[in-house]
Amino acid sequence: MGLYHFLGFALIIFAIGAIGFFVRNNIIVLLMSVELMLNAVNLVFVAFSRYLYGMEGQIYVFFIMAIAAAEVAVGLAIVVSLFRLFGSLDISKMKLLKR
């Protein structure tokens, strides 16, 4: 498989994540869509790192994975608090951040 196959696959994964982010209203689905987009970026970094014989892309992947893990931890904590406050995970019911 060539570089263009990996880039095309990463583009498809990123597009699925972007569509999921802009179309869905559930907060957990939004977090999963953001993670899907981050994984597509990771795939691009690894593909370029492999085909350009450099290690920078693989090093960036570790940083992105660490940031994604922190994002998931903070995001799920926010989701739990919003569910306790509003009783739902639907964004359309959370238009105002006042209670």
pLDDT in tens, 2-32: 889 999 999 999 999 999 999 998 889 999 9
Q: Whole-angstrom Cα distance, residue 39 to residue 33?
A: 10
Note whether residue 28 is domain-resident.
yes
CB 34 within 8 A of CB 42: no
Would you say residue 36 lies in a domain? Answer: yes
Q: For position 97, what pLDDT does the model report? A: 59
Sign, CA dihedral 45-47-50-51, equals negative
* Stated length of the chain: 99
Residue 94, pLDDT score: 74
Residue 49 has pLDDT above 90, yes or no: no
- Please state the domain count of the chain: 1
Confirm if 35 and 68 have CB atoms less than 8 A apart.
yes
pLDDT of the residue at 96: 66
Mean pLDDT of 33-52: 90
Range of the domain at 65: 3-93
- CB burial readout 15-26, b (16+ within 10 A) else e: eebeebbeeeee
The tokens for 60 are: 């960036």
d(CA 99, CA 89): 15
Report yes or no on 99 lying in a domain: no
| pLDDT value for 7 | 94
Other C-beta atoms closer than 10 Å to the C-beta of 43 total 19
Q: Which pLDDT band holds residue 90 (cuts at 50, 70, 90)? A: confident
Whether residue 98 lies inside any domain: the answer is: no
- Counting residues of the chain whose pLDDT is more than 70, the rounded percentage is 96
70: pLDDT confidence band, cut at 50, 70 and 90?
A: very high
In CATH, what number is assigned to the domain containing residue 55?
Answer: 1.10.287.3510
